[in-house]
Amino acid sequence: KKCNALLETLTNMTDSNGTLLVRADLVERITKVWNEIVAAFNQPTHRGEHVDKIFQVLQGKMKGLSQLHVFSLPTADLNYFQVDIFSNLQVLRLDMCPPSTIKGIYSMRNALQSLVVTNSGITTLSKSLAPFKKKILHQLSPMIFPGEVFTIPPQYLWSNLTTLKLSNCGITKIDESLHFFPSIEYLDLSHNTITHVIHLQDCIDLKFLNLSHNRIRVLSNLERVIGSVTMLNL
């Protein structure tokens, strides 16, 4: 029954392009039901062939989702929801979703091509997008000379992400987390409280940079930091 109900929900709410636009509280319920279904199917109990087929169709539906747009309401009482239950997402948009309610973003680093987070209070990049940053950079620090580019082990990188937008999230600085995004072409950090432009050297493919509506005062080293950018919005 749960398989059928979840399959019907996803089918009705997903458009022909594989895009699901949904409230965060519903994704929370989907997360709970999906985890219960997976736990049940991991039990060594006998199930009918019909049930197995429904589960396979549901798995295909979950994996077939390419874009997920999640929004929350100011009055929503959320526990958490997982985005990595949709393992093949290419585009993820989150609006007004508190960081504490979002799980599994970093697990999507090999699949996502576009990540857009707005009005969501991610004050530091590393906590949500590069949780192993401190450990990795600490391990690398004895091998890095001043001015040398960091070489992050590839398994930790957001290897396919080309678009990153973190707008109106309360970000106060651009930290070393950007070393984990080597393929970024479009970076939008507008409407935050950033004061300095740093740590963009590794974003060698960066073409569009939006830092408007921040508190940037120092521009002396801008050309060195954003040498590849062709469109800059301050």
User: Can you give the pLDDT at residue 114?
Assistant: 98
DSSP string, 63-130: HH--EEEEE--TT-----EESTTSTT-SEEEEES--GGGEE-SGGGTTT-SEEEEESS----HHHHH-
Cβ proximity of 232 and 226 under 8 Å: yes
User: Can you give the pLDDT at residue 44?
Assistant: 74
User: Can you give the pLDDT at residue 175?
Assistant: 84
Residues of the chain with pLDDT under 70: 46-48, 126, 133-134, 136-150, 220-221, 224-225, 227
Contacts 24+ apart (CB under 8 A), 102-109: 102/128, 105/129, 106/130, 106/131, 108/83, 108/84, 109/156, 109/157, 109/158, 109/159, 109/161, 109/180
How far apart (Å, rounded) are the C-alpha atoms in residues 10 and 60? 11
Sign of the CA dihedral running 137, 143, 149, 152: negative
Please tell me the total number of residues recorded for the chain in this structure: 234
Domains, the chain, ranges and CATH? 109-232 (3.80.10.10)
Tokens of residue 165, six digits: 């937008």
Tokens of residue 25, six digits: 């509280």
Segment (H or E) for 164:
strand 163-167
User: Can you give the pLDDT at residue 121?
Assistant: 82
Under 8 Å CB-to-CB from 78, ≥6 apart: which residues? 24, 25, 28, 72, 97, 98, 101
What are the tens digits of pLDDT across the range 52-71?
888 899 999 999 999 999 99
User: Can you give the pLDDT at residue 145?
Assistant: 47
User: Can you give the pLDDT at residue 138?
Assistant: 59
Question: Which residue's structure tokens are 């949904």?
Answer: 22
How far apart (Å, rounded) are the C-alpha atoms in residues 179 and 49? 48
